[in-house]
């Protein structure tokens, strides 16, 4: 038996010198063990090789079973530890459980500046906690809107976007970071929002919004924020919002100018098709990638979108029903224009 132990030590040492993986060294010992069993099964008891390996077949089988049980125990323990580590990691990454009911002491301190506002107060903050808002687009306009909605304590915030973070986004899309390049925007946004306020329920949808899913998705939320930059997408959002009776706070930016309004035929305001019944001619509706955009402008309009959402939910102040605000950043001035429903609107059928 000492001879076998010597061979085992030699094989292990050789594997170490050759920098073989530990698993490979165990395979070598396993082959040695099988060779010893073969000797005890295939040669006579008086054969020199049988005598060199020492012991009896029964003893070697007992040793093999014992070692096998030890290895099985270690493997099972390793799997159990790995499963526990995975559960712990998932717990760390998972969205926190949002508590319903009365505000906690931490929430009261967090939202104290809202609660002391006469126009919001405790009732308004409760309305924010019970509200649900869906933001379409987690880019330039969505970035500040999502951050401020989370900071304000909106109870459930959904975000839908199929894009990933790229370097050219970081000049204006402040919810994302350099290290999250290549990450889906909705998950990058979720990470930032969860770090800002763990008391909100975040729902990321990493996919493109289309006409097939929009009505059902919109029906799950009280208010829609449109931060997209293509006329066709905006028209689809408008149609789904009209069909589900959901108000839409819509923002748009280009170069140095931005605009914001609230579309809500159910509340007496026009829908987008009332104001823009036809797609603009080619070249007249360029995206930010085509025309460029000053980095802070999405912050201005996106923050206004979040502000109007807070007003809409709490009933504070005068909203944007029937009005569109146009902001000229280059001239540092804003103006608002009246907008009305059209009786012949093909989408909302205003009367």
Question: Any idea what the CATH number is for the domain that residue 312 is in?
Answer: 3.40.50.720
Single out the residue in 65, 93, 121 at which a domain terminates.
Answer: 93
Is 349 inside any structural domain?
no
Q: What average pLDDT does range 15-42 have in this prediction?
A: 68
Residues 48-56: contacts with CB under 8 Å, at least 24 apart: 52/3, 53/1, 53/3, 53/4, 54/1, 54/2, 54/3, 54/4, 55/1
Tell me, yes or no, whether 229 and 182 share the same domain.
yes
Q: Looking at the structure, tell me whether residues 42 and 146 fall in a common domain.
A: no
31 lies in some domain = yes
Is 177 in the same domain as 270? yes
pLDDT over 60 at 81, yes or no: no
Question: Within a domain: residue 54?
Answer: yes
Residues 85 and 110 in one domain: no
| Range of the structural domain that residue 287 is part of | 105-338
Q: Over 70: is that where the pLDDT of 16 sits?
A: no
The last residue of one of the domains, among 93, 123, 148, is 93
Are 163 and 308 members of one domain? yes
pLDDT of 225 reads: 98
Sheet strands side by side (includes 333-338):
201-205, 156-160, 132-136, 223-226, 248-254, 257-263, 323-328, 333-338
Per-residue pLDDT, 71: 72
Least confident of 16-20, 157-161, 253-257: 16-20
Identify whether 290 is part of a domain: yes
Domain-embedded: residue 98: no
Within a domain: 350: no
Are 184 and 53 in the same domain?
no
- How many domains does the chain fold into? 2
Q: How far apart are CA 177 and CA 160, in angstroms?
A: 19
Does residue 145 sit in the same domain as residue 73? no
pLDDT for residue 4: 61
Whether residue 100 is contained in a domain is answered as no
Mean pLDDT calculated for residue range 125-152:
96
The pLDDT score that the predictor gives to residue 320 is: 93
| Domain-embedded: residue 114 | yes
pLDDT beyond 60 at 323: yes
Name the band, by pLDDT with cuts 50, 70 and 90, for residue 85: very low
Percent of the chain with pLDDT over 70: 75
| Window from 73-82, 88-97, 324-333 with minimum mean pLDDT | 88-97
pLDDT of residue 10: 74
Residues 222 and 134 grouped into a single domain? yes
Greater pLDDT, 66 or 161: 161
Contact between residue 251 and residue 302 where contact means Cβ atoms under 8 Å apart: yes
Q: What is the pLDDT of residues 32-71, one digit of tens each?
A: 767 766 766 666 666 666 666 666 767 767 677 777 777 7
The whole-angstrom separation of Cα 50 and Cα 163 is: 69
pTM over 0.75, yes/no: no
Residue 95 neighbours by CB under 8 Å, 6+ apart: 190, 194, 201, 202
Which of 41, 62, 93 marks a domain boundary? 93
What's the chain's average pLDDT? Answer: 84
- Based on the domain organization, do 277 and 330 belong to the same domain? yes
**pLDDT of 73:** 76
Question: What proportion of the chain, given as a percentage, has pLDDT over 90?
Answer: 61
If asked whether residues 109 and 43 sit together in one domain, one would say: no
Do 125 and 14 belong to one domain? Answer: no
User: Do residue 86 and residue 32 come from a single domain?
Assistant: yes
Task: Kindly report, residue by residue over 191-228, the tens digit of the pLDDT.
Answer: 999 999 999 999 999 999 999 999 999 999 999 999 99
User: Half-sphere exposure (CA, 13 Å, Cβ side) for 25?
Assistant: 16
Q: What is the pLDDT of residue 88?
A: 47
């Amino acid at each position: 038996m000492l001879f076998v132990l010597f061979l085992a030590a030699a094989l292990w040492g050789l594997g170490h010198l050759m920098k073989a993986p530990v698993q490979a060294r165990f395979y070598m010992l396993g082959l040695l063990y099988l060779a010893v069993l073969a000797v005890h099964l295939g040669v006579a008891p008086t054969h020199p090789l049988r005598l060199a390996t020492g012991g009896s077949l029964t003893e070697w089988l007992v040793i093999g079973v014992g070692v096998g049980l030890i290895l099985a125990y270690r493997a099972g323990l390793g799997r159990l530890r790995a499963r526990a580590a995975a559960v712990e990691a998932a717990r760390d990454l998972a969205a926190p459980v949002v508590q319903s009911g009365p505000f906690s002491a931490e929430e009261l301190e967090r939202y104290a500046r809202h609660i002391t506002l006469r126009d919001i107060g405790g009732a308004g903050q409760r309305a924010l906690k019970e509200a649900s808002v869906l933001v379409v687009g987690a880019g330039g306009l969505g970035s500040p809107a999502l951050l401020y909605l989370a900071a304000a304590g909106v109870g459930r915030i959904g975000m839908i976007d199929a894009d990933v973070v790229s370097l050219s986004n970081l000049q204006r899309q402040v919810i994302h970071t350099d290290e999250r390049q290549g990450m889906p925007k909705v998950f990058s946004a979720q990470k930032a929002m969860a770090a800002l306020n763990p008391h909100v329920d975040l729902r990321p949808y990493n996919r493109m919004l289309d006409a097939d899913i929009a009505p059902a998705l919109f029906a799950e939320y009280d208010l829609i924020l449109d931060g997209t930059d293509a006329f066709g997408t905006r028209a689809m959002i408008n149609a789904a919002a009209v069909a589900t009776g959901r108000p839409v706070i819509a923002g748009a930016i280009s170069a140095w100018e931005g605009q914001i309004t609230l579309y809500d035929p159910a509340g007496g305001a026009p829908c987008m098709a009332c104001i823009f019944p036809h797609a603009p001619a080619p070249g007249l509706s360029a995206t930010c990638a085509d025309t460029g955009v000053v980095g802070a402008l999405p912050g201005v309009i996106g923050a206004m979108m979040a502000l109007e959402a807070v007003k809409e939910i709490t009933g504070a102040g005068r909203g944007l029903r029937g009005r569109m605000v146009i902001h000229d950043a280059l001239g540092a001035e804003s103006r608002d224009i009246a907008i009305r429903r059209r009786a012949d609107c093909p989408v909302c059928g205003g009367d």
